[in-house]
């Protein structure tokens, strides 16, 4: 598959749709305009790649809705040089958005099929996370901690507590919490022992799964 001016036009339209829905960050909208989302999906869905909708990818998972990706990225106020842990690599689209904004990204995926597929694909189109990790996001990545930001892109039935301890002071954890539907929840580490919590509305994600035994 190639990237064409037609795709580019569709991306500009998608960015306008997201802007109308409340996304205001120029850098986030710029990333949406730049990244060829159709390449992250099976060719059968290519015609729909620039609709503001989630779509199936491999292993019964989904590529998140563009609005959700833009919303999570905007809330995290991603800056060049931020050290970010992403949980739920999936198609790698959110990973590409974080990299486009200049972050250093560590990304974890628990399904081997997706881990393999995306770790081969992303570098091919020029997006290189610091590390692709095959593992369980509930545990975070203690060896590489602390992080400026942690983003969870699957619905966590409950708060994965280990993640709070892997934030820098001043760092942010953004995680959708709940069964079925989730409340987007932001934690800001105010001190080694204090966290501020903000609830940012309802979203719907595929469930975050426990490691297979
Ligand atoms: N950001 C991705 C979202 C994919 S859906 C995208 O837009 O493509 C969520 C992903 O989280 C799936 O790939 C799923 O396999 C993965 N996942 C679920 N539970 C996980 C866990 N415990 N640790 C790491 N990844 C997990």
Eight-state DSSP code of residue 206: P
CATH of residue 149's domain is 3.40.50.150
- 207 forms bridges with which residues in the sheet? 155
Q: DSSP code of 142? A: G
pLDDT one-digit tens code per residue, 140-197? 999 999 999 999 999 999 999 999 999 999 999 999 999 989 999 999 999 999 999 9
> Catalytic site residue 91?
no
Give 211's pLDDT tier (boundaries 50, 70, 90): low
Tell me which of 24, 43, 64, 91 is the catalytic residue.
64
Number of separate domains in the chain: 1
| 147 in a structural domain | yes
| Confidence band for 43, pLDDT divided at 50, 70 and 90 | confident
To test the pocket of ligand 1, the residue of 49, 90, 97 to mutate (highest count of ligand atoms within 8 Å of its CB) is 90
210 within a domain of the structure (yes/no):
no
Q: Is residue 36 situated within a structural domain?
A: yes
Question: Domain for residue 212, yes or no?
Answer: no
What is residue 213's predicted lDDT score, i.e. its pLDDT? 41
Q: Is the pLDDT of residue 88 over 50?
A: yes
Q: Does ligand 1 come within 6 angstroms of the Cβ of 86?
A: no
Average pLDDT over residues 110-133: 97
Domain that holds residue 13: 5-203
Cβ of residue 147 lying under 6 Å from some atom of ligand 1 = no
Stated length of the chain = 213
Q: Residue 102 has what DSSP assignment?
A: T
Domain assignment present for residue 94? The answer is yes
Q: Whose CA is nearest to atom 15 of ligand 1?
A: 111
Q: Determine, yes or no, domain membership for 133.
A: yes
Q: Per residue in 73-87, pLDDT tens?
A: 999 999 999 999 999
**CB 110 less than 6 A from any atom of ligand 1:** yes
Assess if residue 99 is contained within a domain: yes
Average pLDDT of 121-129? Answer: 97
> What whole-number percentage of the chain has pLDDT above 70?
98
Which two three-digit tokens encode residue 147?
A: 């992080």
Is residue 157 a contact partner of residue 178, using CB atoms and an 8 Å limit?
Answer: yes
User: How far apart are alpha carbons 117 and 137 in whole angstroms?
Assistant: 18
Tokens (6 digits) for 99: 């990299």
Of 35, 54, 89, the residue with max ligand 1 atoms within 8 A of its CB, to mutate for a pocket test, comes to: 89
Omega before residue 66 within 30° of 0, cis: no
- On whether residue 211 sits in a domain, the answer given is no
Query: Which residue, by CA, sits nearest to atom 10 of ligand 1?
Result: 88
């Amino acid at each position: 598959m190639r990237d064409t001016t037609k795709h580019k036009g569709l991306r500009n339209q998608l960015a306008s749709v997201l802007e109308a829905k409340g996304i205001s960050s120029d850098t986030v909208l710029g990333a949406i305009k730049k990244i060829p989302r159709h390449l992250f999906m099976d060719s059968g869905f290519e015609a729909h790649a620039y609709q503001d909708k989630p779509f199936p990818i491999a292993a019964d998972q989904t590529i998140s809705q563009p609005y959700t990706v833009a919303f999570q990225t905007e809330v995290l106020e991603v800056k060049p040089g931020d050290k970010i842990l992403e949980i739920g690599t999936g198609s790698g689209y959110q990973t590409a958005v974080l990299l486009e904004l200049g972050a250093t990204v560590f990304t974890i995926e628990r399904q081997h099929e997706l881990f393999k597929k995306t770790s081969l694909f992303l570098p091919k189109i020029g997006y290189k996370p610091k590390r692709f990790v095959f593992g369980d996001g509930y545990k975070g990545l203690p060896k590489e901690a602390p992080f400026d930001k942690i983003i969870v892109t699957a619905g966590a039935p409950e708060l994965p507590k280990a993640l709070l301890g892997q934030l820098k002071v001043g760092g942010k954890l953004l995680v959708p919490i709940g069964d079925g539907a989730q409340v987007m929840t932001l934690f800001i580490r105010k001190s080694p022992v204090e966290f501020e919590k903000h609830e940012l509305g309802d979203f719907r994600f595929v469930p975050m799964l426990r490691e297979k035994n």
